[in-house]
Amino acid sequence: EVQLLESGGGLVQPGGSLRLSCVASGFTFTNYAMGWVRQAPGKGLEWVSDISGSGGNTYYADSVKGRFTISRDNSKNTLYLQMNSLRVEDTAVYYCAKEAGSGSYGHLDYWGQGTLVTVSS
Amino acid sequence: DVVLTQSPLSLPVTLGQPASISCRSSQSLVYSDGITYLTWFQQRPGQSPRRLIYKVSNRDSGVPDRFSGSGSGTDFTLKISRVEAEDVGVYYCMQGTRWPLTFGQGTRLEIK
């Protein structure tokens, strides 16, 4: 059974940093690209970033490019999202999601339960 | 960026009646490999999104057959043949053909 467990969310001041983690189980992690999607309170879904199975290719939404960094440690079955220069508008539940293949994107077939990031002074 | 426009945004439906949600794209969603990467998700209240349909019309494992997807090019539809109470929630379409990945605004289905 595929399981994705996010952690690392919390309250942070504007301009601060936070690192989210997502531990995966139930599938061969290195064989699948992974992604992050966020949802601001009461709003819709917004794709944030994706990374290939090897970690060699990364993709970002314009809204986070240059501030967020996606990475993965395949030896630990863990996906990360390093978030710097956080803004109030980054406040959201952040979901990690599995893609359908190593270099296959836009599928998001399994999602975690999400972790809440609140950016506020 | 590809803009996905869903309609209606709110959908009150009587139990047992059909429901239909439209998703229109600002650009063709046919990829260079000939496949159309249009996906439908369901988000029940208080839950994470769940994928229902991928590549326009393929139902995910465990998804009831009352859900169906159709369409081509820029026009897509999610249909529920007979709405049940457990179908309450918000439905999103998403395109995976072009970067950045984009979602529709969501359609809230409620029981009338």
Ramachandran assignment for B73, one of left (phi > 0), alpha (psi -120 to 50 degrees), beta (any other): left
Spatial distance between the Cα atoms of A31 and A54, rounded to a whole number of angstroms = 8
- Mutation to test the B interface, candidates A6, A107, A115, A116, most B Cβ within 10 Å: A107
CA distance B50 to chain A (A): 7
Number of C-beta neighbours around residue B17 at 10 A: 12
pLDDT at res. A106: 86
Rounded Cα distance, B27 and B91, in Å: 21
Q: Which of A36, A39, A45, A64 to mutate to test the interface with B (most CBs of B within 10 A)?
A: A45
Residue A101 pLDDT class (50, 70, 90 cuts): confident
* Burial readout A105-116 (b: 16 or more C-beta within 10 A, e: otherwise): bbbbbbbbebbe
pLDDT tens, position by position, B53-112: 999 999 999 999 999 999 999 999 999 999 999 999 999 999 999 999 999 999 999 999
Strand bridging mode A10-12 / A115-119:
parallel
Q: For A80-101, what is the mean pLDDT?
A: 97
pLDDT at A118 (0 to 100): 98
C-alpha radius of gyration, chain A, whole number? 13
Shortest CA distance from A65: residue in chain B? B100
The pLDDT value recorded for residue B80 is: 98
Give a three-class secondary structure readout of chain B: CCCEEEECCEEEECCCCCEEEEEEECCCCECCCCCECEEEEEECCCCCCEEEEECCCEECCCCCCCEEEEEECCEEEEEECCCCHHHCEEEEEEECCCCCCEECCCEEEEEC
Could you tell me how many residues make up chain B? 112
Asked whether A88 and A120 are in contact (CB, 8 A), the reply is yes
Per-residue pLDDT of A19-77, as tens digits, reads 999 999 999 999 999 999 999 999 999 999 999 999 999 999 999 999 999 999 999 99
Task: Determine the residue type at A76.
Answer: K
pLDDT value of position A102: 77
User: Mind listing the pLDDT tens digit for each residue in B23-70?
Assistant: 999 999 999 999 999 999 999 999 999 999 999 999 999 999 999 999
Average pLDDT, chain A: 97
Given a cut of 90, whether residue B9 has pLDDT beyond it is yes
Say what the pLDDT of residue B100 is. Answer: 96
Residue contact B103–A45, C-beta within 8 A? yes
